[in-house]
Amino acid sequence: MNSQIIQPPLVAWANGAFSHAPVIRKTTRIQDLTAVFADGQAWRSCDPQLPVYTVEMLETPAGEGELWTGVTHLNPGKVGNEFFMTRGHFHARREQGEVYFGLRGQGLLLLQDEHGKARLETVCAGSVHIIPGFTAHRLINTGSEILSALAVWPTIAGHDYAALQGGFALRVQEENQQICVCEVQNG
Amino acid sequence: MNSQIIQPPLVAWANGAFSHAPVIRKTTRIQDLTAVFADGQAWRSCDPQLPVYTVEMLETPAGEGELWTGVTHLNPGKVGNEFFMTRGHFHARREQGEVYFGLRGQGLLLLQDEHGKARLETVCAGSVHIIPGFTAHRLINTGSEILSALAVWPTIAGHDYAALQGGFALRVQEENQQICVCEVQNG
């Protein structure tokens, strides 16, 4: 009977690395992040192939009620004076939430409701972020090492990037070696 | 603007303790686990007040699409020769899944589908358990320290204990200081 005991996937809390399981991996590069950063000239001067973030997900059956588990690894860096960040999105199924857990690095989670009201949560090792439904979310790396965050979200949630064409209401930049949060018209 | 940065809840990966947030806490004791352990006589001879496990959950808005985050702390111990375990349940909304992450201790996650087919996964620090929909689940502590596991699950999932009146198809016991998995008619 003991031979039927399954060794499940493992995640390393220190760096978010998965083992003992196949993973789906997607890397997003500077060239993929059109109109994301405020300084278009600085963005065009970056190496287009430069990786900004990689998402690794466990292969899981999808369907109503099932959950994805994945880790986002967001590199340190800036475009102009703006910190590297993920594109950010609403879920296509707007009511679907998500939970993030900070694993390493220092950053911010930018959350924004459908009325454009934004807030920021500190991301660090062990931080827990309950993202409710109807809330767009974006990770921002304000530190000097990789920011890694574990996420669990419904497989039916999907992504809706178009709904955020107006952008987020806050931008996070470095000014005089300080982290500065700016309210903007089109973020 | 920086004053609007929110400090979210924290979880300690080493022991599953939450901080920086109110938690909902529920302890399940020997007296609450009627007809769960195989050896009724051994169960009746235990201190009825003895805590078997405590679940701590973050206070979160509930509703379609929202997710709970909680930690189960399952004490080490045995009733007769059977290891301490949670009651186990199907979700009332059967299609709803759940994700468990082992944080500390040594144990097993017992999973059983609606046809009574059971399987076991090893729980240890960093183990990841994708529990699909239509799957009952029970934690078993086979070690000598507290087994703690972090879980994320839909707030709409609910519990259905009645559906498991026939019990699980496997029992995990200690025999000659070995962990022994037994197939049973009514587990």
Q: What is the mean pLDDT of residues B181-186?
A: 84
Distance (Å) from the alpha carbon of B27 to chain A's nearest alpha carbon: 23
pLDDT at A180: 96
> Average pLDDT for residues A31-51, to the nearest whole number?
97
As a whole number of angstroms, the distance between CA B60 and CA A6 comes to 32
Give me the CATH number covering residue A142: 2.60.120.10
Give percent of chain A above pLDDT 70. Answer: 97
Tell me if A99 is assigned to some domain. Answer: yes
**Which residue is associated with the tokens 């009511």?**
A95
The pLDDT assigned to A163 comes to 87
pLDDT at B68: 98
Whether residue A106 is predicted with pLDDT greater than 70 in this model: the reply is yes
Question: Average pLDDT for residues A21-47, to the nearest whole number?
Answer: 97
Mean pLDDT value across residues B43-65: 97
- The alpha carbon of residue B133 is apart from the nearest alpha carbon of chain A, in Å, by 6
Terminal C-alpha separation, chain B: 57
Query: CB contact, 8 Å: B101 with chain A?
Result: yes
pLDDT for res A186:
60
Tell me which chain A residues have a C-beta less than 8 angstroms from the C-beta of B168: none
Which residues in A lie closer than 8 A to residue B61 (C-beta atoms)? 132
3-state DSSP assignment of residue A58: strand
Q: Which of B116, B107, B156, B108 is nearest to B136 (CA)?
A: B116
CA B109 to chain centre: 8
* Nearest Cα to Cα of residue B133 among B99, B82, B163: B99
Residue keyed to tokens 């340190």: A76
Q: Domain for residue B135, yes or no?
A: yes
Q: What is the pLDDT of residues B56-108, one digit of tens each?
A: 999 999 999 999 999 999 999 999 999 999 999 999 999 999 999 999 999 99
Tell me whether residue A63 is in a domain.
Answer: yes
Q: Which of B18, B21, B108 sits opposite A5 (nearest CB)?
A: B108
Q: Is residue A79 part of a domain?
A: yes
pLDDT-above-90 percentage for chain B = 93
* Alpha carbons A126 and B47: distance in angstroms, whole number: 36
Query: Which residue from B61, B125, B132 is facing A61, i.e. has the nearest CB?
Result: B132
Predicted ipTM > 0.85: yes
Structure tokens at A124: 């660090």
Q: Which has the higher per-residue pLDDT, A135 or B166? A: A135
- Residue by residue, DSSP assigns A139-170 as EEE-SSS-EEEEEEEETT---B-GGGTT--SE
Per-residue pLDDT band for B4 (boundaries 50, 70, 90) equals confident
State how many domains chain B has: 1
CA A57 to CA A64: how far, in whole Å?
18
- Chain A residue at shortest CA distance from B5: A120
Structure tokens at B180: 């022994």
CA atoms in the 13 A half-sphere facing the CB of A22: 4
Rounded-to-integer distance, Cα B45 and Cα A146, Å: 54
- Does residue B101 lie in a domain region? yes
Mean pLDDT, rounded, for B130-136: 97
Is B88 domain-assigned?
yes
Taking the Cβ of residue A175 and every Cβ of chain B, the question of whether any pair is shorter than 8 Å is answered with: no
| Bridging pattern class, strands B118-123 and A5-6 | parallel
Q: What is the residue whose two structure tokens read 């903007």?
A: A184
Q: Give the mean pLDDT of A98-109.
A: 98
Taking residues A128-133, what's their average pLDDT? 98
pLDDT over 70 at A118, yes or no = yes
Per-residue pLDDT at A165: 77
Residue among A18, A126, A181 minimizing CB distance to B12: A126
Residue A90's CB is within 10 A of a number of other CB atoms, namely 23
Distance of alpha carbon B11 from the chain centroid: 18
From chain B residues 145-164, the ones with a CB under 8 A of any chain A CB are 152-154, 157
> Does residue A2 carry a pLDDT above 80?
no
pLDDT over 80 at B43, yes or no: yes
Smallest CA-to-CA distance from A104 within A75, A79, A81 is with A75
What string of DSSP letters covers B7-18? ---EE-TTT--E
Tell me the C-alpha distance between B7 and B20, whole Å.
8
> Per-residue confidence at B187, pLDDT binned at 50, 70, 90?
low
Query: Tokens 């183990």, residue?
Result: B127
Rounded to the nearest 5 degrees, what angle is found at the Cα of A10, between the Cα atoms of B96 and B137? 35
Tell me, yes or no, if the pTM score tops 0.90. Answer: yes
- Whole-number average pLDDT of chain B: 95
Tens digits of residue pLDDT in B151-180: 999 999 999 988 887 899 999 999 999 999
The phi, psi pair for B27, rounded to 5°, reads -105, 135
Chain B contacts of A170, Cβ < 8 Å? Answer: 1
- Predicted pLDDT at B162: 86
Whether B28 has a pLDDT exceeding 80, the answer reads yes
DSSP assigned state of B27: E
Domain of residue B101: give its range. 10-183
Quick one: what percent of chain A has pLDDT higher than 90? 93
Instruction: Say what the pLDDT of residue B164 is.
Output: 85
